[in-house]
Amino acid sequence: METNTPKLQEEWIKSAAAVADLIHMPIPSVARGPLWLMMGNPALTDPRGNIWMHPKVLGVPADIRQYLLAHEMGHALHHHGKMAFLAFVLLATLYVVSPVLCAWIGWGYILSVLAPYGLGDHAEFQADATAVKVLGSPYAVIRAQQEVMAVMGERITPRRERRWRKLRALAQM
C-alpha cells in the first residue's frame, strides 16, 4: 500500500480541515507517525494537538479517515494529551523528590482507578462522542472502529464492548 503519495497527503489534509470545521477547532497537523511512537495504535494525539497516524491506516476509505481524525481531534479538544503529559511530569518530579512516595501514588492510582475502570476509558469515550458528532451516529463510529480494528489486526476486548454499549446508549437519547 502506498502511504506517502501527494494525493494521499492531500486527502488527509482535506479531511482534517473538514472535520476541524465541523467541530469548530483549528486544523491540526496530521502526519505519519514513526512505528516506535505508534506502538500498535492506529492514531495518536500529542500534547500539542498534533495527530500521528499509523502507516497501516493511511490508505483507509474517506469515512474511516474522517472517524480517525474526529476521534483524535476529540482528544485534543478535551486536552487529554496535555493531561497525560502533565501527569507524567508530576510523577517524574515526584520520583526525584521521593521514589517511595512516587511508587505508592503511582501504584495506588493504577490499582484503584486504571485497573477497575480501564486505562483512559473516560477519555476514549469523550473522543468517541466527538466522532459521533462528526459522523452523525454512534453506529457509524462503532462500524468505523471495527474497520480500523480489522486493518490493525486487533480483537474486540471487554473494554471495547463496554464503550460500544455506552455509544449505543447515546442513540437512545
Q: pLDDT tens, 64-113? A: 999 999 999 998 888 877 666 666 667 677 777 777 776 777 666 654 54
Count the Cβ atoms, other than its own, within 10 Å of residue 36.
6
* Per-residue pLDDT band at 55 (split at 50, 70, 90): very high
Stated pTM of the model: 0.80
Distance CA 165, CA 33 (A): 30
Contact 59, 8 (CB under 8 A): yes
Place of cell 483512559: 120
Q: Which residue has the higher pLDDT, 151 or 79?
A: 151
Q: Which residues contact 96 (CB under 8 A, 6 or more apart)?
A: none
Please, what's the largest Cα pairwise distance for the chain?
A: 53
Supply the pLDDT for residue 6.
65
Cell of 37: 511512537
Q: Which residues contact 67 (CB under 8 A, 6 or more apart)?
A: 131, 134, 135, 140, 141, 144, 145, 148
